Amino acid sequence: MLKQSAFLQAVEKTCVLLAHQSRYEFVTPEILLYYGILGLDQFEKTLLQCNMDHDKLSQDLKNFVSQLEVVPENIEYNVEASNNLVKAMQFADGIAENTGMDECDVPHVIIGILNTKECVANDILRENMNKNCSEVEFCAKLLENFGHDITNSNPQDEEISDDLDDFPPIMNDDDEPGYDLETYAKLLNNDIKKQNPLIGREDEMERTLQVLTKKERHNVLYIGEPGVGKTAMIYGLTRIIEEDPDSLPSQIANAEVYQIELTSLLAGSQYRGDFEKRIKNVMETIAAKEHPTIVYIDDINNLVGLGASGDNNNDAAAMMLPYMDKENIRFIGTTNFKDFKHSFEKNKALLRRFQVIEISEPTTEEAIKIVEALKPVYEKYHKVKYRKDTAKYAVEMSVKYISDRHLPEKAIDLMDEAGAYRELHPLLNEEYEPVKTQSIDCKLIAEMLMKVRKIANIPDREDQDETIRLQNLMSNIKNKIFGQDKAVNQVVEAVQMSKAGLLDENKPIASLLFIGQTGVGKTEIAKVLAKELNLELLRFDMSEYTEKHTVAKLIGSPAGYVGYEDGGLLTDAIRKSPNCVLLLDEIEKAHSDIYNILLQVMDYASLTDNKGQKADFKHVILIMTSNVGAQQASQAALGFTGKSTGNAMLEAARKQFKPEFLNRLSGIVVFNDMNESMAKLILDKKLNELRKRLEAKKITIELSQEAETEILKRGFSPKYGAREIDRVLNSMLNPLLMHEILFGKLKKGGHVLVKLENGELKLKKE
């Protein structure tokens, strides 16, 4: 074992001390990251360079660490390293030793954690990393910031010679034929039984075998979006090689399939030439084998530029080119369309040596067959039984509600989530004992989708609560919104039509424009609707977007402008809460550019932000409110124009908004003006709300008929709507109650009567 650097020893001592103070029995990789490494300047710099969220990573680690078991105060113990931390340290020590390092340092430990299976710290790092950068890029920045540059001489020692003979060699030249590949390459043939079988993809596999059998240009490049099954193709090929080699031509029969880990190749290459020599040793060892060999490189686009610096263009891709033409070596790489265009396609020498095979996303029917075939695998793993229709339901719901991932991965993940949940929460019999057969139905699949995607009210095929909620939606809203029955009917019908599947699934649930006088309930109905459907309400005040440049904040500022890294306020909000009521208040006050953005939302239920990421609006109820035409409506009501109130407001709306905008709306909802009967109902509602607040203070309140009439007389205003009632209550009644509650007879509660004396409200305690 190599000795540890003083820096690493200090980090470990800090973690042991803090673990003991918190009464943790073990120092785990998560504790090491959270207490010892997260606050290091070098690590924070790496996160910043890789566009990783330090606060998100910190919160994820904190959530896990806070749930660890603690040792009771009355028990004496010594803090020890957990099994996962021991494994990570052993891997780190091996990396440092194999690369000629004298000490094991902090970056080696982090890379060791990234290579420790079944480790939460590994999962948290990768989850935060994969969204923003590749693993290779992260490790490269990590080594560089901790003083382990992979291309230049050690920046902390200016007297280091360029002559590599002055430094401990990675390996001796005479050791090359027996070079240990296990450190830098994984033999997939030995691991094939642990992997899911490949279902379908017959055409793609036939094309793969044909390319691999060629004499020249016999390398395969799989291009496809994440989750469509590129890696599954590799394991499927390896399974054929292992289980049915006689069916294959001699060029690939009994071939060994190695997955080269670029992270391991990169880790610990401190001095100039280390990285290049390591690649050469690995490839020469593979080339020396007598039997056929297939080299698999995930995210092969990372080869381009890896290891190059300054005027040195000798990157990893250039070093591997000669081996791609050898007869006994085949390469298979995977990448996505974006990275292929960005880097791989530009390297013509690399591109010409590969045959591109596109792995497209399977159709819904194909995905159902895949998930059905994989059901026994997950049933055995989780010791559960999936019901007959769960595979189809998981695929259909993932297609409908998960737009940022691809089949079949997203459907398989739902099935896996449900299996894991059932293991943790088994079904119990009447004696509260686990039943013999733990089953999983569509309802549990829906619950998992709601949990992992933060989506509300996903009905399974037997969900009666959803049906009852929709059936009672109209009456529930009318009990809270008074005098706007026609408007409520339009809103509820739009929602029910969408839930019944009668509308276009590629559009929002509803796109509605509310027009009416201020205070008549336009915003309130959106709030009530969100509450009744158990959805989140996202409200944007359009008066904040009156200038042309402010509209860009909704989808993010263009590249080169301030705020580019912040993303879009609207797109980020929808990605966080894809199932919601989106309220754009006073839309007429916004700059006209806002309508161009909303056209895409209403037509295709998607919006692309400044970074090319799409937000899905398919499960959004879009409500826009406007006071446009309110003045014309007032004139119409007085008889000056000969038009009805509604017609006057509609005519004003058609003048204000473009035809292409109005044409994409599900409906234009005109709200009635306030009348006296509506005002009476609203006053009763406000008083009931006041009574509920006073109940907490053990106070009951009663209003005389004269007092209630006086409040209604002052609060009824067609021009200002329900808000005038609020103002009257706040100015006439609430100050009296406040004084008595704080300083008077209602300190300890009681019953109070509100009377009218000489045109003013008076309180009388009874």
Of residues 186 and 564, the one with the higher pLDDT is 186
The answer, yes or no, to whether the previous bond of 558 is cis (omega within 30 of 0) is no
CATH class entry, domain 164-358: alpha beta
Helix (H) or strand (E) holding 752: strand 750-757
Query: Torsions phi, psi of 509, nearest 5?
Result: -55, -45
- Residue 150's pLDDT is 39
Least confident interval from 293-302, 651-660, 718-727: 718-727
- Residue 154's pLDDT is 34
Tens-place pLDDT, residues 468-523: 777 778 888 877 777 677 778 878 887 788 777 677 777 888 888 888 777 777 88
> In this model, does residue 455 exceed pLDDT 70?
no
The tokens describing 208, both together, are 């793969």
- May I ask the CATH architecture of the domain 676-765? Orthogonal Bundle (1.10)
Contact (Cβ atoms closer than 8 angstroms) between residue 753 and residue 707: no
Check residue 312 and report its DSSP letter: B
Which residues does 217 contact at the CB level (< 8 Å), separation at least 6? 211, 352, 353, 354, 355
Tens-place pLDDT, residues 32-91: 888 888 888 888 888 888 888 888 888 888 888 888 888 888 787 788 888 888 888 888
Half-sphere exposure of 647 (CA within 13 A, CB side): 7
The tokens describing 503, both together, are 């509308």
Least confident interval from 216-225, 455-464, 540-549, 559-568: 455-464
> In this model, does residue 132 exceed pLDDT 70?
no
Distance in angstroms (rounded) separating the CA atoms of residues 97 and 115? 16
Of residues 762 and 267, the one with the higher pLDDT is 762
Judge residue 41's burial from the number of C-beta atoms within 10 Å of its C-beta, 0-12 exposed, 13-18 middle, 19 or more buried.
exposed
Tell me how far the alpha carbon of residue 713 is from its chain's centroid.
52
- Residue 332's pLDDT is 92
Distance in angstroms (rounded) separating the CA atoms of residues 483 and 407? 48
Q: Which amino acid is at 544?
A: E
The tokens describing 420, both together, are 């894991």
Task: With cut-offs at 50, 70 and 90, classify the pLDDT of residue 695.
Answer: confident
Of residues 534 and 414, the one with the higher pLDDT is 414
Do the strands 580-585 and 750-757 form a parallel or antiparallel pair, or are they unpaired? Answer: unpaired
Check residue 665 and report its DSSP letter: -
> In this model, does residue 652 exceed pLDDT 80?
no
Closest C-alpha among 172, 140, 154, 142 to residue 46: 142
- Residue-range domain boundaries for the chain: 3-145, 164-358, 364-452, 467-670, 676-765
3-state class percentages of the chain: helix first, strand second, coil last, to nearest 5: 50, 15, 35
CATH number of 364-452: 1.10.8.60
Query: Does 164-358 match 3-145 at the fold level?
Result: no
Cα angle: 357, vertex 361, 365; to 5 degrees: 125
Tens-place pLDDT, residues 723-766: 677 777 777 777 878 777 777 777 777 887 878 777 777 777 66
- Residue 493's pLDDT is 83
Most confidently predicted of 182-191, 354-363, 675-684, 731-740 = 354-363
Residue listed under structure tokens 């007032």: 634
> In this model, does residue 166 exceed pLDDT 50?
no
Can you tell me the mean pLDDT for 358-372?
A: 90
CATH number of 3-145: 1.10.1780.10
The 10 Å Cβ neighbour count of residue 81 is: 19
Can you tell me the mean pLDDT for 393-411?
A: 85
Residue listed under structure tokens 């910031």: 145
Tens-place pLDDT, residues 545-558: 888 888 888 887 66
> In this model, does residue 642 exceed pLDDT 50?
no
Distance in angstroms (rounded) separating the CA atoms of residues 48 and 125? 14
Judge residue 628's burial from the number of C-beta atoms within 10 Å of its C-beta, 0-12 exposed, 13-18 middle, 19 or more buried.
buried
The topology under which CATH files domain 467-670 is Rossmann fold (3.40.50)
Distance in angstroms (rounded) separating the CA atoms of residues 143 and 750? 71
Can you tell me the mean pLDDT for 437-462?
A: 72
Distance in angstroms (rounded) separating the CA atoms of residues 68 and 569? 36
Contact (Cβ atoms closer than 8 angstroms) between residue 135 and residue 114: yes
Half-sphere exposure of 640 (CA within 13 A, CB side): 8
347: three-class secondary structure by DSSP: coil
- Residue 416's pLDDT is 92
- Residue 563's pLDDT is 62
Question: Could you write out the DSSP letters of every residue in 376-426?
Answer: HHHHHHHT-EE-TTHHHHHHHHHHHH--SS-TTHHHHHHHHHHHHHHHHS-
Distance in angstroms (rounded) separating the CA atoms of residues 270 and 690? 71
Query: Torsions phi, psi of 439, nearest 5?
Result: -105, 160
Tens-place pLDDT, residues 206-236: 999 999 988 888 899 999 888 888 889 999 9
Task: With cut-offs at 50, 70 and 90, classify the pLDDT of residue 454.
Answer: low
The tokens describing 444, both together, are 């549990």
- Torsional sign, CA 579, 585, 588, 592: negative
> In this model, does residue 604 exceed pLDDT 60?
yes
Partnered with residue 510 across adjacent β-strands are 621
